[in-house]
Amino acid sequence: MRVGIGYDVHKLEAGRKLILGGVQIPYVKGLLGHSDADVLIHAVIDGILGAAGLGDIGTHFPDSEWIYKDIDSTVLLKKTMDLIKGKFSINNIDCIVVAQEPKISPYKDAIARNLSKVLNIGIDRVNIKAKTEEGLGFTGRKEGISAYAIVSLIEKCIDS
């Protein structure tokens, strides 16, 4: 078994959609980024890549490439799964979304279902937690949202 950790952060800004784990969440602001700025999926991607020893999201999907401008991060997650196909399978993912607002708890089940579907794993292998920072830091001041993900991969046996 191999384990990787992922982290991402994006600034909140008016006029953008808020997408977390591939689920649109109603809010007056969304996350600013080159893609759809889905911090949760970006953290999961980094966790997968880290566990597989394949670098990070910026190596595979650089924000200098216009092909990734405004891209749906679930597309990037699927491309990440293609990178590990035949070598690893996901054992489980455990995620934390840190946001003062909006409240994420009402969307945790929808996010878990969506990630389960995109990753093609059982929903019992996806855990989503929502936290605030009690008004502290940039997330506490409602300036942005961050996400963490721990991913465990199982190495597939390859007969020699």
Question: pLDDT tens-digit profile of 45-88?
Answer: 999 999 999 999 999 998 888 887 888 999 999 999 999 999 99
105 known member of a binding site: no
55 known member of a binding site: no
Residue with tokens 């949760």: 40
141 known member of a binding site: yes
57 known member of a binding site: yes
Say how far apart CA 60 and CA 68 lie, in whole Å: 11
Q: Is a pLDDT exceeding 90 seen at residue 157? A: no
73 known member of a binding site: no
Say how far apart CA 4 and CA 157 lie, in whole Å: 19
35 known member of a binding site: yes
2 known member of a binding site: no
Give the model's pLDDT for residue 100: 95
88 known member of a binding site: no
104 known member of a binding site: no
Q: Where are the beta strands (DSSP E) in 15-58?
A: 18-20, 23-25, 29-32
CA 82, chain centre distance (Å): 16
82 known member of a binding site: no
Give the model's pLDDT for residue 159: 56
The residue among 157, 144, 160 whose CA lies nearest residue 42 is 144
Say how far apart CA 63 and CA 55 lie, in whole Å: 15
Question: What are the structural domains of the chain?
Answer: 2-155 (3.30.1330.50)
